[in-house]
Structure 1
Amino acid sequence: MTSTPQTTPRERAARGFLRAFGTEAQRLSRAPARVNLIGEHTDYNEGFAMPCAIDRDTVVAAAPRDDDVVEVLACDIGESLGRFRVGDAADVSGSPQWLRYVQGMVAVLKAQGLAVGGAQLAIAGNVPQGAGLSSSASLEMAVGQALAALNGWQLAPKAMALAGQKAENVYAGCQCGVLDQMSSALGVDGHALLLDCRSLDVQPIPLPEGTAVLVIDSKIQRGLVDSEYNLRRQQCEAAAAGLGVKALRDVDDALWSRRGGELDLVVRRRARHIISDSRRCELMAVAMARGDLREMGRLMRESHWSMRDDFEITVPAIDALAARVQDVIGDAGGARMTGGGFGGCVIALAPVGLVDEVRSAVAMDYRSPDGREAEVHVCAASGGAGVLA
């Protein structure tokens, strides 16, 4: 969800709530977006990924109702108003896409035996939609925190993340892994997260001092539900089945050498990306811990090439944007596409002294296919979802 520069998501959510419902909100919750530094599409293959939550948020202003009706104001989508009953939340057939995420969270949490009553919710954010920063997971986690606060229960961050993943899989129609929700729920200020997508263990790793996190919005929107995201997941599952393993996480060098050539050519390339990118995450964690931006940059470049050539989820304009940013950074950092693919953002890690040069190069040399300039966001690694004072 996008913002106007004059107001914060918190202000817009609170003011929208007052306009729509005629009273002040009783609770405010927020959840961050995330950017994935490396490890793309590895989550549903039970591999490793390295995201970090960023200081772009979705905020929910909330108050309880005395019945089972949930009213939802989308402040950033023309102040659209949605309405459903708690007992009917699972029926999303007639709902706009944005409302399905809210209904999904209500349905999943209620099915887990948690108390979910009627509510009034106003939602605002400054997470660009369709840019690969996971506005959907940010929305799910903020809604989950609001429902917990209104109904007097708590849910562990990992459990909330899994609830958000299920809401997105079942009710929003995107077969995503749990990377996005885990990042939003468990973010740590100043740190990236090495996420083991099988065990769901999370290891916070501090970003090197003096490193800028640049998120460059290409202005090429992509909708994961409408893209080939689900097809890529099917191809990865086919590769795992062909290799006789539970998930591509389980493929070692010996197995790949012995049986990789038996796979269909396209499926083999898809698997090669997943296997190599998961390993790059572990190497990235080592390099980051020792502050080695040169090695981190090398891994990021290789990851982009793998997404481009083996997984085929980049587009020419994104390739050009990542290459131009890399030209400016040189060996002092790295740039790659981030997110599910087919548009979205480029993530770059670079010394803070190069930020202005990157901005200038992007402004001068890049336009989206429809002629728009990219937007460069200088972000900070953020803490995870929670209730605001």
Structure 2
Amino acid sequence: MKSPLLKRVLTSFSVGFDAAPSCVVHAPGRVNLIGEHTDYNDGFVLPCAIDYHTLVAAQPRDDRLVRVVAADYGNKLDEFSLDAPIKPLTAGDMGWANYVRGMVKMLLDHGLPLRGAELAVAGNVPQGAGLSSSASLEVAIGQAFKTLQGFDELSATEIALLAQKAENRFVGINCGIMDQLISARGAAGHALLIDCRSLDAAPVHLPDDVAVLIVHSRVKRGLVDSEYNTRRQQCEAAARHYGVPALRDVDEARLLAERGSLDERVFRRARHIVTENQRTLDAAEALAANDLRRMGELMAASHASMRDDFEITVPAIDQLVEILQGVIGTAGGARMTGGGFGGCVVALLPEAMVDAARTAIEAQYRAPSGEAATVYVCHPSAGAGPI
């Protein structure tokens, strides 16, 4: 935990409520090592939680009012009653509050006897980078009420599912379960191989001398919301064509054999999902065996599939992957990570190569806006909990 972040959330709480909180909780962001857009197709993903977090400082109230201050938005205040319908805000500078409101509404709808609370929120998960700052916020709010009111029966998986509902039904982003589940259930030193149908999660140890390098392209992901929903609709159309609940249930042989009258674009979307599922299973085996050469091959194939079949990369992202792969060679791999259309690249590489990778990116890459990339060296982190 980065102590400046803790200091910031405590200061924000003091400024907002002239008191000290009774608890502070955290929830991490995440990076997905492989398995992109497979989660809402009931498939497999291999993310790890990262050591960038959302913190929530909290204390109970004696009434039914929830008051929230956002340290990252000039200590702006939102407040609402638990006894009135909780509705989204439409003001442009209060978008953050909808993730809080949505999560509180889902906790209420789940039947939890919530009491009023005062909350301060601060985070250092980069926003708009595909590292799941929104899921981190939702899970942190759920964890805050769990800790504050002693909801021991509320499991990490249930918090994740409620956070997903908040994003789907309240915020309006039709995301899968991966982001919220890894934030709630991450394991220090490990990625998690998550079966997005059963929600089983198996820890996969990352070699101790391997760095998780995240490079923010500085390309804002302006199309991701609408295009994300379009990709999901295309995948659902392909599943209907094959007569299955989800593309998880189609293997590559059947994909090709029963292609029939399927629209070419929809077929390519389906091909990405079907092949990405298998790559994710293979990647978990490769990591468990410390086979970084094989992991790199799978990451390269994943990126090519996202670029050519799913069409969610952009030239700047492709360039970053090429630069990183030129440094890493066969000692690891690089690929786009996240929803697409900008955001971040993730690389797995030996710690000894990190400086060379930084140098190459600084020398060879500029975003279309002229900005340099931002590089984060991360470590697999534990999931949400009290501090």
Name the TM-score class by shorter chain: over 0.9
User: 2:354 corresponds to which residue?
Assistant: 355
**Offset, 1:88:** 3.5
Match of 1:276 in 2: 275
Say if 1:115 and 1:196 are closer, same or farther in 2 by CA, change over 3 A.
Answer: same
The residue that corresponds to 2:16 in the other structure is 20
Whether the 8 Å contact between 1:75 and 1:124 is mirrored in structure 2 is yes
- How far is the alpha carbon of 1:90 from its aligned partner? 3.2
Deviation at 1:8, TM superposition (A): 2.2
Q: Tell me, in whole angstroms, the C-alpha distance in 2 between the residues paired with 1:142 and 1:306.
A: 33
Once residues 178 and 47 of structure 1 are traced to their aligned partners in structure 2, the CA distance between those partners, rounded to angstroms, is 11
**Counterparts of 1:266-305 in structure 2 under 5 Å?**
266-305=265-304
Shift in Å, 1:116: 1.2
Shift, 1:63, TM fit: 0.9
Q: CA deviation at 1:243?
A: 1.1
Amino acid at match of 1:336: R
Choose from 149, 152, 168 the match for 2:150. Answer: 152
Counterpart CA distance in 1 for 2:17 and 2:188 is 34
Code of the aligned partner of 1:144: G
Correspondences of 1:167-186 after superposition (within 5 Å): 167-186=166-185
Change (3 A) 1:224 1:59: farther
Which whole-Å deviations, capped at 9, do the CAs of 1:242-292 have from their partners, x for residues lacking one? 111100000023421221242101100100001111110000011111100
* Alignment partner, residue 105 of structure 2: 107
TM-aligned CA deviation for residue 226 of structure 1: 3.5
Q: Give yes or no for contact 2:89–2:95 (8 Å, CA) kept in 1.
A: no
Instruction: Provide closer, same or farther for how the CA distance between residues 89 and 167 of structure 1 changes in structure 2, counting only shifts above 3 A.
Output: farther
Please tell me whether the aligned partners of residues 224 and 340 of structure 2 are also in contact (alpha carbons under 8 angstroms).
no
Q: CA deviation at 1:225?
A: 6.4
Contact 1:224 1:340 in 2 (8 A): no
Q: CA deviation at 1:198?
A: 0.6
1:60-112, CA deviations, whole angstroms, 9 ceiling, x for partnerless residues? 01111111111111111222211111233531154632111101111001111
SS in 2 for 1:219: coil
For residues 181 and 318 of structure 2, the distance between their equivalents in structure 1, rounded to whole angstroms, comes to: 28
Per-residue deviation at 1:209?
Answer: 2.7
Amino acid at match of 1:244: G
**Could you list the runs of 5+ residues in structure 1 that have no partner in the other structure?**
none
Number of residue pairs the alignment of both structures matches: 384
Unaligned runs of 5+ in 2: none
Cα distance per residue 1:144-172 (max 9 Å; x no partner): 11011222212111111000000000111
State the 1:208 CA deviation: 1.6
- Cα distance in 1 for partners of 2:67, 2:208 equals 44
Q: Distance in 2 between matches of 1:59 and 1:9?
A: 8
C-alpha distance in structure 2 between counterparts of 1:225 and 1:340, whole Å: 6
SS in 2 for 1:108: helix
Contact 2:23–2:57 (Cα < 8 Å) also in 1: yes
Distance 1:113 1:335, change over 3 A: same
**d(CA) in 2 for partners of 1:152, 1:27:** 11
Matches within 5 A, 1:366-385: 366-385=365-384
Matches within 5 A, 1:142-291: 142-154=140-152, 155-222=154-221, 226-291=225-290
Judging changes above 3 Å, is the alpha-carbon distance between structure 1 residues 153 and 185 closer, same or farther for their aligned structure 2 residues?
A: same
Give the partner amino acid of 1:147: F
Q: Which amino acid aligns with 1:158?
A: T
Structure 2 CA distance for aligned equivalents of residues 353 and 88 of structure 1:
56
- Among 37, 41, 54, the alignment partner of 1:41 is 37
Residues 1:59 and 1:79: Cα distance change in structure 2 (over 3 Å): same
Residue in structure 1 matched with residue 386 of structure 2 by the alignment: 387
SS in 2 for 1:87: coil
Query: 4+ residue stretches of structure 1 with deviation over 6 A?
Result: none
Preserved contact between residue 173 and residue 225 of structure 1 (Cα < 8 Å)? no
The 8 Å contact of residues 326 and 335 in structure 1, kept in 2 or not, is answered as: yes
C-alpha RMSD of matched pairs (Å): 1.5
Q: From 131, 143, 162, give the equivalent of 2:129.
A: 131
Letter in 2 for 1:380: H
- Conserved? CA contact 2:38–2:277, under 8 Å: yes
* Corresponding residue of 1:59: 55
Whole-angstrom distance in 2 between the partners of 1:50 and 1:106:
28
In structure 2, relative to structure 1, the CA distance for the partners of 1:304 and 1:225 (3 Å cut) is closer
Whole-angstrom CA distance in 1 between matches of 2:84 and 2:222? 26
In 1, are the aligned partners of 2:295 and 2:333 still within 8 Å (CA)?
yes
Contact 1:322–1:337 (8 Å) recurs in 2: yes
Select 1:74's aligned residue among 62, 65, 70: 70
CA distance in 1, matches of 2:89, 2:289: 50
SS of alignment partner, residue 35 of structure 1: strand
Percent identity (aligned): 55
Distance 1:89 1:322 in 2: 46
